[in-house]
Amino acid sequence: MLFNSWQYAVFLPVVLALYWALPQKRRWVLLLVASYIFYMSWSAKLMALILTTTATSYAAALLISRAKTQSRKKLWLTLGVGISLAMLFVFKYLNFAVGLCASVLSFLHIPAFVPSLNLLLPVGISFYTFQTLSYVIDVYRGALPAEKHFGIYALYVSFFPQLVAGPIERAVNLLPQFHVEHKPNADEWAHGLRLIAWGLFKKVAIADFIGVYVDAAYNDINACGPMAYVVATALFAVQIYCDFSGYSDVAIGSAKLLGFKLMENFNAPYFARSIKEFWRRWHISLSTWFSDYVYIPLGGSRVSVSRHLANLVITFLLSGLWHGAKLTFVLWGLCHGLLLCLDVFLLPKREKWLKNAPRLKAFIETAVTLVLVVLLWIPFRANSLSDALTIFARLPYALSAPVQGFTVALETLGITSAVLIRIILSFAALAACDAVRRYKGQPFEILARQKSPVRFAVSYALAFCVMLAIFTQPAGTVAEFIYFQF
């Protein structure tokens, strides 16, 4: 059940009507049933996996809280974390590991029979597994008590707005919200509806629209010239942002309609002035998860320089693997880790550089960071490592005749003048909204303080654009969210 489908357009209002009609003590039951129905809309078989993960992490946390000795606590922590990670490895990484072993053996000319596995990747497994891991670890650390109500805990794991693509919530934030009574709040409902509309606008009107032209280049490595890959990569940078942040906006907005507050997941990432700042603004729930549960436990920056650099690389290698069991994601994570290592050495010099021209300094730093981030989307989007390396090798040739190459690229990708105008207008709206977020604050909070005519005009214009984008889509072309594959 996709957020951008008619099924969800029916599902959400029905859940809302029943939720606000029920007394507080019965609402968790409705939300749990609704969440499981939402998840089973992909495959009923997947329920066995999420229920197993839920039960084992629930039991591990209870056993940790009841353990009398530290050694017992560590035992239950190891088992709880180990079982969840083992299930994630089997269903997400076993195929990759087997294929990698087969490639290595073949390269070494060692004859061996390597079985072919075709395990189904359960939707959202990376998200809800990380959510359960953080819960068990936080109980072990004493950050919160173990949840005794199994139904409430199961709801924390499976809460449908953020179940399949985040934000990756922390138990400290979300679990207590299931125990308090939520009362109707018209302002929160209005905010939630605007977030849903904005998220759908980014997904349907921008991401899905430009995704066609991205696929035209990346799905046939020999179909386009160098400049076409420059254009396609720039488009993908916007597509991946609008697709994923659009999902997060709909998730946060849907939760607001139910009275829940989810964490912010994106904050104008393409206005970042360094790779470090980019990761503070992009997929915030994941980057803070890796910081709290991987980077800091490894020692963070409070170690020797060499150990600090190793911690950065390890953390981002794991982050790359989290995104997908492919060498392209490993390369993507490694490159980000190395750029962060470089930033460690450049930071003292950057603070002194152009000290008397802060605006010029900010512009140059933002531009350089944006170019680096966009270039590194190439391995993220490429279908294989060889495709990524081929595109990187061809990019310098785009500089030979940029104007002529750009015109040819548009023709090759099928981007007409009308399409180009729509893309430019969409990008301008997105950039303006993020600029407000970066320098002024949350756009919809600012909008809420405006007079009624302004609020209604913006809301209706946004809703009109979403409906126009939906109804002008070809039949049967509702696209899944990109992060569903992770």
Lowest mean pLDDT among 276-290, 349-363, 364-378, 406-420: 349-363
What does the longest C-alpha to C-alpha distance in the chain come to?
74
Q: Distance between CA atoms of 191 and 232, rounded to whole angstroms?
A: 34
Contact between 158 and 128 under an 8 Å Cβ cutoff? The reply is: yes
If one counts every other C-beta atom within 10 angstroms of the C-beta of residue 15, the result is: 21
Confidence class for position 3, pLDDT limits 50, 70, 90: confident
Q: Distance between CA atoms of 190 and 13, rounded to whole angstroms?
A: 14
The residue-averaged pLDDT of 391-408 equals 83
Q: Could you tell me the residue ranges of all domains in the chain? A: 28-182, 188-485
Calculate the alpha carbon distances from 52 to 84, 86, 103, 122, 136 in Å: 9, 12, 33, 13, 15
Nearest by Cα to 243 from 74, 75, 380, 62: 380
Query: Catalytic one among 191, 283, 308, 323?
Result: 323
If one counts every other C-beta atom within 10 angstroms of the C-beta of residue 300, the result is: 15
335-342's contacts with Cβ under 8 Å and 24+ in sequence apart are 335/376, 335/379, 336/275, 336/279, 336/376, 337/312, 337/313, 338/313, 339/275, 339/372, 340/275, 340/276, 340/279, 340/312, 340/316, 341/309, 341/312, 341/313
Confidence class for position 478, pLDDT limits 50, 70, 90: low
The predicted structure's pLDDT at residue 411: 87
Nearest by Cα to 455 from 190, 229, 205, 270: 190
The amino acid occupying position 232 is A
Q: Distance between CA atoms of 231 and 221, rounded to whole angstroms?
A: 14
Contact between 260 and 189 under an 8 Å Cβ cutoff? The reply is: no
| Neighbour-count burial of 403, counting CB atoms closer than 10 A to its CB (0-12 exposed, 13-18 middle, 19+ buried) | exposed
pTM to 2 decimal places: 0.90
Confidence class for position 357, pLDDT limits 50, 70, 90: confident
Confidence class for position 74, pLDDT limits 50, 70, 90: very high
Contact between 169 and 178 under an 8 Å Cβ cutoff? The reply is: no
The predicted structure's pLDDT at residue 94: 82
Residues in the chain: 486
pLDDT in tens, 161-170: 999 887 999 9
The residue-averaged pLDDT of 399-421 equals 84
Token pair recorded at residue 43: 């495959």
pLDDT in tens, 433-451: 888 888 777 776 777 676 7
Confidence class for position 254, pLDDT limits 50, 70, 90: very high
> Torsion angle, CA of 37/156/147/261, rounded to 10 degrees?
-140
Nearest by Cα to 138 from 292, 299, 315: 292
Confidence class for position 46, pLDDT limits 50, 70, 90: confident
Q: Distance between CA atoms of 313 and 334, rounded to whole angstroms?
A: 6
The answer on pLDDT for 401 being more than 80 is no
Catalytic site residue 323? yes
Sign of the Cα pseudo-torsion (194, 196, 199, 201, in order): negative
If one counts every other C-beta atom within 10 angstroms of the C-beta of residue 125, the result is: 20
